[in-house]
């Protein structure tokens, strides 16, 4: 079996596929001169191609009958399979068909943390509803081995913190955000300016999606010889707003998410009393999907949804420039 496959593969590799295109024209026109015009070749070149086809297939293919040329039984038997084969080859080398979101019922998958989902999904789904009502999106969290899933095509996109460049992966920034302090309305700490000392003296809530100890805030405080009391750790960002609204906990939170929940709950935002800087979330995908029209459309839609999610939350919590 293997030897037969190898022989067939070798014979196919030795065939000039242009001969099959020439055969298609010859069988359609039943004339060397007309086939030459159809192919954009000279008549001698087309006659030469017919000669090579006769040698390759062991059949005259076209024979003269008076002033016409007629196809042999072998040539007639080849017409159907030849048309099918050339249609398939043309489909392989043809440019990708445009992706029509309005007609597509394609299903996509996206991995992200609940913070990014909460910020990006509302404007994204609003646009999907308008532009692609039959497209579906599955959002996952805590997917194991995200990069491997992207490579296998089991996952289309992932959103997370910027990661080091890795072979085969592409990434694009989609959302930059700043930190704010979130307190319930009427919190005792709001009676005076939130200094660093007062900040450290509060009971804090910390979101730890990975479950690992420590955080950016605690690392920066430790560098200045300070520490805070983390009274509650939770694994999901969406748990934090209602907990803060009904307690004296302080949550140092992504600004865009905090602003969205401050419109729904009795929450007040204040700038951190020290420079936390900001962070950027990136959209990640595998290069195998780089030129897929539907995949490219979804990437552009996610990126376009990010500004609508609101990068201005931290700026609205303070009169200082971002990052101050």
Does residue 88 lie in a domain region?
A: yes
CB atoms within 10 A of CB 23: 24
Pick left, alpha or beta for residue 241 (phi over 0 → left; psi -120 to 50 → alpha; otherwise beta). Answer: alpha
Confidence of residue 204 (pLDDT cuts 50, 70, 90): very high
Do 201 and 254 sit in the same domain of this protein? Answer: yes
CB atoms within 10 A of CB 206: 19
Could you read off the pLDDT of 149-197 as tens digits, one per residue?
998 888 999 998 877 778 899 999 998 889 999 999 999 999 999 999 9
Could you read off the pLDDT of 244-303 as tens digits, one per residue?
999 999 999 999 899 989 999 999 999 999 998 888 899 999 999 999 999 999 999 999
Q: Does the pLDDT value for residue 79 go beyond 60? A: yes
Question: Is residue 289 a contact partner of residue 169, using CB atoms and an 8 Å limit?
Answer: no
Partnered with residue 250 across adjacent β-strands are 204
Tell me the two tokens of residue 195. Answer: 């200094």
Looking at 62, 93, 124, the residue that finishes a domain is: 93
> Which residues span the domain enclosing 52?
2-93
Do 167 and 284 sit in the same domain of this protein? Answer: yes
pTM of the model: 0.66
Do 271 and 196 sit in the same domain of this protein? Answer: yes
Q: Is the alpha carbon torsion for 262, 264, 265, 266 positive or negative?
A: positive
- Predicted local confidence at residue 13, as pLDDT: 67
- Predicted local confidence at residue 163, as pLDDT: 75
Do 286 and 272 sit in the same domain of this protein? Answer: no
CA 238 to chain centre: 24
Provide the Cα torsion 102, 103, 106, 107; round to 10°.
Answer: 50
In the block, tokens 């084969």 appear at: 85
Q: Where are the beta strands (DSSP E) in the chain?
A: 62-65, 68-71, 107-111, 136-140, 157-161, 169-184, 203-207, 229-234, 250-254, 267-270, 278-286
Looking at 58, 93, 128, the residue that finishes a domain is: 93
Do 67 and 134 sit in the same domain of this protein? Answer: no
C-alpha span between 5 and 14 (Å, rounded): 14
Do 54 and 203 sit in the same domain of this protein? Answer: no
Q: Does the pLDDT value for residue 63 go beyond 80? A: yes
Burial of 111 (0-12, 13-18, 19+ CB in 10 A): buried
Does residue 9 lie in a domain region?
A: yes
CB atoms within 10 A of CB 258: 28
Q: Supply the CATH number for residue 27's domain.
A: 1.10.10.10
Q: Does the pLDDT value for residue 235 go beyond 60? A: yes
Do 252 and 286 sit in the same domain of this protein? Answer: no
Do 56 and 83 sit in the same domain of this protein? Answer: yes
Do 265 and 134 sit in the same domain of this protein? Answer: no
Mean pLDDT, residues 68-86 taken together = 89
Does residue 119 lie in a domain region?
A: yes
Do 183 and 270 sit in the same domain of this protein? Answer: yes
Do 17 and 47 sit in the same domain of this protein? Answer: yes
Looking at 32, 64, 93, the residue that finishes a domain is: 93
Q: Does the pLDDT value for residue 39 go beyond 60? A: yes
Do 245 and 258 sit in the same domain of this protein? Answer: yes
Does residue 87 lie in a domain region?
A: yes
Does residue 100 lie in a domain region?
A: no
Does residue 324 lie in a domain region?
A: no
- Predicted local confidence at residue 314, as pLDDT: 30
Q: Does the pLDDT value for residue 56 go beyond 90? A: no
Confidence of residue 4 (pLDDT cuts 50, 70, 90): very low
Mean pLDDT, residues 52-58 taken together = 90
Q: Supply the CATH number for residue 266's domain.
A: 3.40.190.10
- Predicted local confidence at residue 141, as pLDDT: 83
Count of domains observed in the chain: 3
Does residue 262 lie in a domain region?
A: yes
Question: Is residue 47 a contact partner of residue 62, using CB atoms and an 8 Å limit?
Answer: no
Percentage of the chain beyond pLDDT 90 is: 58
Could you read off the pLDDT of 189-202 as tens digits, one per residue?
999 999 999 999 99
Does residue 140 lie in a domain region?
A: yes
């Amino acid at each position: 079996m293997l030897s037969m496959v190898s022989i067939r593969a070798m014979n196919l590799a030795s065939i000039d596929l242009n001969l099959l295109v020439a055969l298609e024209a010859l069988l359609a026109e039943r004339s060397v001169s007309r086939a030459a015009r159809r192919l954009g070749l000279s008549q001698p070149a087309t006659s030469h191609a017919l000669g090579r086809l006769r040698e390759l297939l062991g059949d005259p293919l076209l024979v003269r009958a008076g002033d016409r040329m007629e196809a042999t039984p072998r040539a007639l038997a080849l017409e159907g399979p030849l048309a099918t084969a050339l249609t398939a080859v043309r489909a392989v080398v043809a440019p990708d068909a445009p992706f029509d979101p309005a007609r597509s019922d394609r299903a996509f998958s996206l991995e992200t943390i609940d913070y990014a989902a909460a910020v990006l999904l509302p404007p994204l789904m609003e646009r999907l509803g308008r532009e692609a009502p039959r497209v579906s999106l599955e959002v996952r969290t805590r997917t194991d081995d995200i990069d491997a899933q992207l490579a296998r095509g089991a996952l289309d996109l992932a959103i997370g913190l910027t990661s080091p460049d890795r072979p085969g992966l592409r990434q694009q920034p989609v959302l930059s955000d700043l930190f704010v302090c979130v307190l319930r309305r009427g919190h005792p700490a709001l009676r005076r300016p939130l200094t660093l000392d007062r900040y450290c003296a509060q009971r804090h809530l910390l979101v730890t999606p990975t479950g690992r100890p420590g955080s950016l805030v605690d690392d920066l405080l430790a560098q200045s010889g300070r520490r805070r009391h983390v009274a509650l750790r939770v694994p999901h960002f969406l748990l934090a707003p209602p907990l803060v609204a009904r307690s004296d906990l302080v949550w140092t939170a992504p600004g865009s998410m905090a602003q969205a929940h401050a419109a729904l709950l009795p929450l007040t935002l204040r700038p951190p009393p020290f420079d936390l800087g900001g962070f950027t979330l990136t959209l990640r995908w595998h290069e195998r999907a780089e030129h897929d029209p539907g995949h490219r459309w979804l990437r552009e839609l996610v990126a376009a949804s990010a500004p609508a999610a609101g990068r201005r939350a931290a700026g609205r919590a303070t009169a200082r420039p971002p990052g101050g």
